Amino acid sequence: MRFLYPAAFWWAAGAAVAATLVRLVRQRRLGAAATSGWLFDGAYRASLLRRLPALLFAAALTLVGVALMEPVLPLARTDVRSHGLDIVISLDLSSSMGDRMGKNAASPAAGAFVTRLDATKAAIRSFVERRLDDRIGLVVFSDNAYVITPLTFDHRALLQYIDMVDDQILRGEGMTAIGEGLAVANQLLARQAVTPGARNQVVVIFTDGENNIGREPLNVLAESDAAGIRVHVVGVDLEQEIRRKPTVRALISAVTRYGGRYFNADTERALDAASREIDTIEKGLLVSQTYQHDAPVFDWFAGPALVCLALGFALRAVPAFIDQT
């Protein structure tokens, strides 16, 4: 322990000396008697317990002086509790994510060319900006899955990495390994879990296709449920033909059965609405450990000082402790 403002102790000491001098001046205003010698006899001396209020006031003043010096611990580990979750965003970077967003909608919007990837990144950025109390990580996948950022509270850095994601990162790949993207997300959550098995872990998958390489998504989804991880899937402009396939329908059904949600987003507005819906339904308590330099501990002394002061005043109300001088 060290003190940020040690000079404050001298101010407290000066106040204590001043209070003592005032008390001594008041005690000198006494009358004299011929029998005053009797007062020095042990039988006539007041009990030391009568000085308890004064001792409590002195202790309170000392503790206040120490608190004013702002004591700190050079390095302290603390538990941070926030109303948030551990969330991993798993983003599909298959070659079809470079297609125009909304081309499968009934009435595609006219105007500037916006790819599925650009629209998805915009929705993810909006989602991250709303989740102030969450630890969020980013995984991308195509033929394989890769961690872009681990779980972090540094959302500013996370947003920078999201901006840097493009269709050239996984050049040479182009398939859709949804199972791999989910498996890596599960591993990331398990590796950084503060309380293993707690229901405060979520994976959000953004994909525009069906799994056509790598691990079977249904098996990985079962592993997610066993680990207490909820999984939501956002179908980015998913074609009707793909949505009708048995494997895709089975995946959507399994996601719902395990407590997650499936969202079909064939426009930019629908994509943003899906991210907002996930934001609404996913709330929880997150506990994380942090190391703090110069952690203030003045309350260790201020609290006992208030207790001593309160006890001192309380004893002053008891006739046996009233100072008649």
312: in domain: yes
Which residue, among 74, 97, 184, has the nearest Cα to 137 in the 3D structure? 184
Same domain? For 209 and 143 the reply is: yes
Same domain? For 111 and 175 the reply is: yes
Q: The domain containing residue 120 runs over which residues?
A: 79-288
What amino acid is encoded at 118 in this protein? D
47: in domain: yes
Same domain? For 302 and 282 the reply is: no
Tokens of 323: 């100072």
Same domain? For 227 and 303 the reply is: no
Same domain? For 163 and 100 the reply is: yes
Query: At CA 166, angle to CA 163 and CA 168, rounded to 5?
Result: 145
Phi, psi values for residue 282, rounded to 5°: -100, 95
Same domain? For 278 and 302 the reply is: no
Print the SS3 string covering the chain.
Answer: CEECCCCHHHHHHHHHHHHHHHHHHHHCCCCCCCCHHHHHCHHHCCCHHHHHHHHHHHHHHHHHHHHHCCEEEEEEEEEEEECCCEEEEEEECCHHHHCECCCCCCCCCCCCCCEHHHHHHHHHHHHHHHCCCCEEEEEEECCCEEEEEEEECCHHHHHHHHHHCCCCCCECECCCCHHHHHHHHHHHHHHCCCCCCCCCEEEEEEECCCCCCCCCHHHHHHHHHHCCEEEEEEEECCCHHHHCCHHHHHHHHHHHHCCCCEEEECCHHHHHHHHHHHHHHCCCCEEEEEEEEEEECCHHHHHHHHHHHHHHHHHHCCHHHCCCC
What amino acid is encoded at 94 in this protein? S
Strands 145-152 and 71-82, how do they pair?
unpaired
Q: Report pLDDT for 108.
A: 47
125: in domain: yes
pTM: 0.62
Q: Report pLDDT for 187.
A: 95
Say how many Å lie between the first and final Cα of the chain, rounded: 41
User: Can you tell me the distance from the alpha carbon of 32 to that of 181, in angstroms, rounded to the nearest whole number?
Assistant: 94
Q: What is the pLDDT along the chain (325 residues), one digit of tens a residue?
A: 667 767 766 766 777 677 677 766 766 554 555 555 555 555 545 566 667 777 877 788 778 777 777 777 766 555 555 557 899 999 999 998 988 887 655 444 545 678 999 999 999 999 999 888 889 999 999 999 999 999 999 999 999 999 999 888 888 888 999 999 999 999 999 998 876 555 589 999 999 889 999 899 999 999 999 998 999 999 998 888 888 899 999 999 999 999 999 999 888 888 889 888 888 877 655 455 555 566 677 777 778 878 877 887 777 777 666 655 5
220: in domain: yes
- Count the Cβ atoms, other than its own, within 10 Å of residue 309: 17
Same domain? For 256 and 307 the reply is: no
Same domain? For 50 and 98 the reply is: no
Same domain? For 213 and 314 the reply is: no
37: in domain: no
87: in domain: yes
CATH number of the domain that residue 275 is part of: 3.40.50.410
115: in domain: yes
Same domain? For 95 and 7 the reply is: no
Which residue, among 136, 143, 132, has the nearest Cα to 89 in the 3D structure? 136
34: in domain: no
What Rg, from alpha-carbon coordinates, does the chain have? 34
Number of structural domains in the chain: 2
Same domain? For 226 and 314 the reply is: no
Q: Tell me which long-range contacts 249-256 makes (C-beta under 8 A, separation of at least 24).
A: 250/218, 251/178, 251/211, 251/217, 251/218, 251/221, 254/218, 254/221, 254/222, 255/221, 255/231
Same domain? For 184 and 236 the reply is: yes
Q: Report pLDDT for 107.
A: 45
